[in-house]
Amino acid sequence: MANWIEACDADDVDEEDVIPVEIDGHQYAVYRSPDDRYYATDGFCTHEQFMLADGLVMGNIIECPKHNGRFDYTTGEGKGAPICENLATYPVKVEDGTVFVELGG
């Protein structure tokens, strides 16, 4: 069964930006793309555990705030060194101005 959790207001995230969201003690990052879609990933870089929400969003790419590692936040795919591991992504839906994340059962 889907487990949709309320993450934030849609207005909390600017276009082409990211914010940190904590749910049940876990850190997630919620993104709003330049074409106004919402995405969610784990909150920390897979390389050295830095908070991705402090990084820069350019198009569909989030850059780690420390080591310049890059991920496509729409798919979680790492974009070259020093990233070895992809980023976990989560389904997102927006209803009545609220962003929900599906974290699994």
Partner 1 sequence: MTAPDRIVIVGAGECGAAAAAALRDNGFAGSLTLVGAESLPPYERPPLSKASLVSADEPTPVLAATAERLADLDVAFISGIAVEVIQRDDRVVRLADARELPYDRLLLATGARARSLPIEGGGHALTLRTHDDAVALRSDLVPDRHLVVLGAGFIGLEVAASARQLGCRVTVLEMAPSALSRAVPPAIADVIVERHLDEGVDIRFNARTTGIRLTDNGFALDVTGNAEPLPADLVLAGIGATPNIELAADAGLECDNGIAVNSALQTSDPAIYAAGDCAAAISELYDGRRIRLESWRNAYDHANTAAANLLGGSDAHQAVPWFWSDQYDLGLQIAGLFDAASDNVSRKRHDDTTIVFGLDGDGRLVAAGAVGAGTSIARDIRVAERMIAARLKPAVGDLTNPDQPLKKLLQA
Q: Which residues bind partner 1 (CB under 8 A)?
A: 16, 50-51, 54-56, 63, 65-68, 80-82
Task: Tell me whether residue 70 or residue 100 sits nearer to partner 1 (CB atom).
Answer: 70
Residue 98 exposed, middle or buried by CB count within 10 Å (0-12, 13-18, 19+): middle
Q: Answer for the pair 40, 32: CB distance below 8 angstroms, yes or no.
A: no
Query: Least distance (Å) from partner 1 to the CB of residue 104?
Result: 28
Query: Least distance (Å) from partner 1 to the CB of residue 81?
Result: 6
Task: Tell me whether residue 34 or residue 91 sits nearer to partner 1 (CB atom).
Answer: 34
What 81-84 contacts at long range (C-beta under 8 Å, 24+ apart), as own/partner pairs, is 82/47, 83/45, 83/46, 83/47, 84/46, 84/47
Pairing of strands 77-78, 70-72: antiparallel
Task: Tell me whether residue 41 or residue 100 sits nearer to partner 1 (CB atom).
Answer: 41
Task: Tell me whether residue 40 or residue 45 sits nearer to partner 1 (CB atom).
Answer: 45
Query: Least distance (Å) from partner 1 to the CB of residue 56?
Result: 4
